[in-house]
């Protein structure tokens, strides 16, 4: 006759199985979060007013890393990119002071959606693609891309001001680079303000982390982020890599 297994031994075996399963679950979660962060999405918070009123300070955004890895960048995309060199010295940022923002940032780091070096990134809107000639301003105060004037509904301008840039400029975007600008045009350290930095104010495409597609926090600010295709309609591409064969 087989002696009965003691309750203590049964409990120990159950505990071992539970711990083993827990370890597997944690490892699987870490692998999934690593893959998500590496290939799909990341979370960033907005430290300045440079993209108002599209993005407000302390908004949290979700960024798709499939752009530009899989899908091409488009004019009007809101992108997060690594500082090309010296841009952040002009940006007056703030830390996440409210407790909820700190908790969200901590949770994002735990699941792999954000990382401690996220403050080395900037967020702006793509205005010029490789080969584009971006000029400002025409007689109506508008900016043009390849000679086509833009009507930019996303802009935040000082009251009574129609000119979309505080200074005039004319640039041609080099191959493999972007010309980016903030929606808060008179309060944005964007391409215009960094022409004396490495790259001449242009952002290498390889520096782009991804395209912001949604405001995820705070809940009352939740919304999809579009790229306003109607604003850039009719602009012919001057990028040889996009031209049809």
Q: Could you state, in order of their start, the residue ranges of all structural domains in the chain?
A: 48-93+117-239
pLDDT tens digit sequence for 44-101 = 989 899 999 999 999 999 999 999 999 999 999 999 999 999 998 755 544 445 555 5
More confident residue, 42 or 103: 42
Give the tokens for residue 211: 């395209």
Task: Select which of 37, 43, 114, 124 is catalytic.
Answer: 124
Question: Which class is 48-93+117-239 in CATH?
Answer: mainly beta
- Report the alpha-carbon distance of residue 227 to residue 107 in Å, rounded: 29
Q: Any catalytic annotation for residue 163?
A: no
Q: Which residues contact 229 (CB under 8 A, 6 or more apart)?
A: 74, 76
Please give the share of the chain, as a percent, with pLDDT higher than 90.
Answer: 63
The answer to whether 124 is a known catalytic residue is yes
Residues 6+ apart with CB under 8 A from 235: 75, 132, 145, 146, 148
Residue range 176-189, pLDDT digits in tens: 999 999 999 999 99
Of 43, 50, 108, 177, the active-site residue reads: 50
Task: Determine the pLDDT at residue 177.
Answer: 98
pTM for this entry: 0.77
**Do 201 and 179 form a contact (C-beta atoms < 8 A)?**
yes
Task: Give per-residue pLDDT as tens, 25-37.
Answer: 666 555 555 555 5
| Residue 46, Ramachandran bin (φ over 0: left; ψ between -120 and 50: alpha; else beta) | beta
């Amino acid at each position: 006759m087989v002696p009965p297994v003691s309750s203590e031994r049964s409990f120990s075996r159950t505990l071992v199985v539970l711990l083993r399963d827990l370890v597997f679950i944690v490892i699987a979660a870490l692998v999934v979060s690593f893959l998500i962060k590496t290939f799909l999405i990341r979370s960033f918070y907005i430290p300045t007013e440079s993209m108002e009123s599209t993005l407000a300070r302390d908004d949290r955004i979700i960024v798709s890393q499939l752009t530009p890895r899989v899908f091409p960048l488009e004019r009007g995309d809101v992108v997060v990119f690594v500082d090309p060199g010296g841009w952040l010295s002009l940006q007056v940022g703030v830390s996440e002071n409210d407790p909820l923002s700190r908790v969200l940032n901590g949770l994002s780091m735990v699941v792999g959606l954000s990382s401690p070096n996220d403050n080395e990134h900037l967020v702006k809107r793509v205005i010029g693609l490789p080969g584009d000639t971006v000029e400002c301003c025409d007689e109506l105060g508008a900016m043009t891309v390849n000679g086509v004037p833009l009507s930019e509904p996303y802009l935040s301008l000082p009251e009574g001001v129609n000119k979309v840039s505080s200074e005039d400029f004319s640039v041609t975007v080099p191959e493999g680079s972007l010309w980016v600008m903030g929606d808060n045009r008179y309060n944005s350290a964007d391409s215009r303000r960094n022409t004396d930095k490495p790259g001449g104010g242009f952002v290498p495409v390889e520096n782009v982390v991804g395209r912001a597609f949604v405001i995820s926090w705070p809940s009352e600010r939740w919304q999809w982020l579009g790229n306003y295709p109607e604003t850039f309609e009719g602009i012919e591409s001057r990028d040889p890599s996009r031209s049809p064969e």
